[in-house]
């Protein structure tokens, strides 16, 4: 079964996610932005979701983590929770 580890930032609007993505592109620290802005409890840990299996997250999130490039910020990705910026650290 495939496993991955990812960081994410969850916000309410696409606009907020786009602004954060621009900051990240300019070199902002992912963990600091997650702590300041993420609505997910993982924000307290810099957005770290730890290791999880394929199928444990909602489909749109899973697709990015298991099919997208590693170590690049992806998104905004819309789910029922809001808009995510996702950085996949590794997968196996």
CATH number, position 40: 3.10.50.40
The whole-model pTM stands at 0.96
pLDDT for position 1: 79
Half-sphere exposure of 71 (CA within 13 A, CB side): 1
Could you give the number of structural domains in the chain? 1
Domain membership of residue 42 as a residue range: 3-91
Higher-pLDDT residue of 6, 1: 6
Q: Residues 35-50: what's their mean pLDDT?
A: 98
Q: Residues 24-52: what's their mean pLDDT?
A: 98
DSSP strands (E only) in the chain: 3-11, 48-53, 73-79, 82-91
């Amino acid at each position: 079964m495939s496993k991955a580890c990812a960081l994410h930032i969850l916000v309410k609007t696409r606009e907020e996610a786009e602004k954060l993505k621009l900051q990240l592109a300019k070199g902002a620290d992912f963990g600091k932005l997650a702590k300041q802005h993420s609505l997910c409890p993982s924000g307290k840990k810099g957005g770290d979701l730890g290791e999880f299996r394929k199928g444990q997250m909602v489909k749109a999130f899973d697709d990015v983590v298991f099919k997208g490039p590693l170590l690049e910020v992806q998104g905004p990705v819309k789910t029922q929770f809001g808009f995510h910026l996702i950085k996949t650290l590794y997968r196996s």
